Structure 1
């Protein structure tokens, strides 16, 4: 937006205190902010008029709230905690373990850190630089995947790490990577073993990995609406525009505080989830949605898109494609569709739409075309690099995307690559 600045506030693991969020929203509304957003890494994004951003920042400073303006030098720590007890069952990784790890990660990391249960596909496992994935069979031990900065190189360490060492080893890895950027940052080939040879790993509790971890199949749950879980309810709120009215979120925070709901969660789908709603309070939450005209039950082919933050062109393209898919009456269940417009960015997707210029003139991109790529086995936690079709125009993009989705359904259980098709 012209003459606007974006203030970013991280909530570690996507866990948000209603009281703290209320304080932030009060400051934002004081300086004319009517709507806020949540980002792919579960952070809060506030767009502020240029002349007011310093005043808003001064108010945040007075409350000791950490923020960044128009930059992301310290990416948020992503976690699968929002899915805990809602989409994840039969796992050793509970609320207490998440919060212990997040509390111990008391530095302000410059690398992206993901903390994920292996028994879920709601949140991405490997979109971070330091990716911790809970062992499905050994309680309190974690598999470790390193995606080196500004590369497509992912290294799986051959040791699992004990829960209590996740924080300290994360700090050590970041320290080594930035100490030797010529070896580990923006390189086509990176030696993961070299990284760990520079770390005194004997100071951490580890176990050998018997073999490469099998990543879970992707199955995106329907993440909005007021839903029953055991003897309580959870509420998921998605906004087509990505914008949440400040007035609505203020009332949501008040209701959390009044009904003793101690937290809400932001998700990598730019939505929010409130867990632990009592049966006796269900009507109050319905009334809140009615009061602010918050729509529920969007079509699945809209909910399964991943779009970069602060990218108006990608969001506009998403809306265009959703309309076209609805016109086709297309089914997209089980597919995560990503849109990528920037180089060296990571988008969680089964099927990726990559925009690129047909040519450049004096540094300006001229006439965009699109590639459609597919992740290995259509699992968005795998690498997205197999090209389905290249260099298509926007006019033909929706129909080719539909073909890619149909190909997914036809071959999802065969696990073959496009090049193997005849």
Structure 2
């Protein structure tokens, strides 16, 4: 049977989208009778379209030079911490322009997941990519941590990488990995030094010696909703409990951005939206849009620190169920974040992970819905050192056991 709907994915490199480009996407989607959209864990744009509207939508996007993938994610979005600059953190040498310069140098569409991350922030995860470039103290030089595809094996590149070489090195590493999949793909014993040797033999790069190991800050998740002042400007964070942003609302947001000369919007790994550089005098205009679409921008902190797989209704329903319990019991989740995994190798991060598994058949012949609860050894969500806390936990008991870890 042919599918009745198709999933459309549009990459927003670095989690940055010009307001005019997003408006073009929204108008094409609206013409195809799309009513809602959502943002993914890698800061990409996702929505579904009826099968009968797919061809016209794809053609309209192509005419606007907007690339999309249909029912596929062969080219993951490049994720970055661009959104935090000036809002949550200021690094000595890293500015918004540095991110944009690097992104502009990508002349290919990566098949590996690539992250560009400021090491002094904790809003965007560090190691959810296959190639994780993390800032160093040396201006315009980055640590590179390779996480081999379909593994949790991390290899630290034995030199710091120059900003302008990040796209070239990424391309070289990707070519070597895909040319040697039997050694580097889905291989828990993948050999990092061998990868480095093969890549280095192909071309030269601008590098600096790796003198000091990477150190990361203690995890805290900043509150990323509502109107917040920084300097002489405001930023606005918008989160949706059901992950759905209406096309009508997003169109009004884009039109207001253009009206008030805000060139871009930022997406986050928490499936939310942040608009920076709002003039204080323009706040009433934003209040009008929020009221018109009945957008609440003050959710509890223990609802905002969850990672759920993209387009996963079951995971989202479980999250909302667990959050309700946390609200009722007034559970404090400071310095924690949670991930719900219903599928293997989804790349989510969390200090506490709820992983679904199936037990043997029950007496009724159905699979019992059970879960394993894991946490990192130090409750740092960027760690891959997991400890199993409880196995074969029924859905009814899941919230109670999670609360014991908070």
Scaled by the length of structure 1, the TM-score of the pair is 0.93
Change (3 A) 1:72 1:180: same
Is 1:62 aligned to 2:70, yes or no? Answer: no
Q: Which runs of 5+ in 2 are unaligned?
A: none
Q: Tell me the alpha carbon deviations over residues 246-274 of structure 1, each in whole angstroms, 9 at most, x when there is no partner.
A: 11100100110010101000110000000
Secondary structure of residue in 2 paired with 1:187: coil
Number of aligned residue pairs: give it.
401
What does 1:399-418 align with in structure 2 at a 5 Å threshold? 399-405=400-406
Shift of residue 122 of structure 1?
Answer: 0.4
Inter-partner Cα distance in structure 2 for 1:153 and 1:225: 38
Q: Which runs of 5+ in 1 are unaligned?
A: 406-422
Shift of residue 211 of structure 1?
Answer: 3.8
What does 1:304-319 align with in structure 2 at a 5 Å threshold? 304-319=305-320
Is 1:36 aligned to 2:37, yes or no? Answer: yes
Contact 1:91 1:119 in 2 (8 A): no
Contact 2:240 2:272 in 1 (8 A): yes
Secondary structure of residue in 1 paired with 2:52: coil
- The aligned residue for residue 86 of structure 1 is 87
- The aligned residue for residue 182 of structure 1 is 182
Q: Tell me the alpha carbon deviations over residues 197-216 of structure 1, each in whole angstroms, 9 at most, x when there is no partner.
A: 10126711112212431222
Contact 1:350 1:384 in 2 (8 A): no
Is 1:284 aligned to 2:285, yes or no? Answer: yes
- The aligned residue for residue 16 of structure 1 is 17
RMSD (Å) for aligned C-alpha atoms: 1.4
Q: Tell me the alpha carbon deviations over residues 100-145 of structure 1, each in whole angstroms, 9 at most, x when there is no partner.
A: 000011210000000000010101111000000011x211110000
Inter-partner Cα distance in structure 1 for 2:99 and 2:164: 11
Shift of residue 384 of structure 1?
Answer: 4.7
Change (3 A) 1:98 1:272: same
Q: Tell me the alpha carbon deviations over residues 28-82 of structure 1, each in whole angstroms, 9 at most, x when there is no partner.
A: 1111111111100000101111211111111111112100011100000000001
Contact 2:120 2:216 in 1 (8 A): no
Secondary structure of residue in 2 paired with 1:219: coil
Shift of residue 24 of structure 1?
Answer: 0.6
Shift of residue 360 of structure 1?
Answer: 6.8
Q: Which runs of 4+ in 1 moved over 2 A?
A: none
Contact 1:305 1:337 in 2 (8 A): yes
Is 1:75 aligned to 2:111, yes or no? Answer: no
Inter-partner Cα distance in structure 2 for 1:76 and 1:392: 34
- The aligned residue for residue 374 of structure 1 is 375
Secondary structure of residue in 1 paired with 2:378: helix
Shift of residue 365 of structure 1?
Answer: 8.0
Inter-partner Cα distance in structure 2 for 1:70 and 1:5: 6
Q: Tell me the alpha carbon deviations over residues 219-271 of structure 1, each in whole angstroms, 9 at most, x when there is no partner.
A: 10000101111110000000001000111100100110010101000110000
Q: Tell me the alpha carbon deviations over residues 163-190 of structure 1, each in whole angstroms, 9 at most, x when there is no partner.
A: 1111100110001000100000011211
Bigger drift between 18-27 and 377-386 goes to 377-386
- The aligned residue for residue 172 of structure 2 is 172
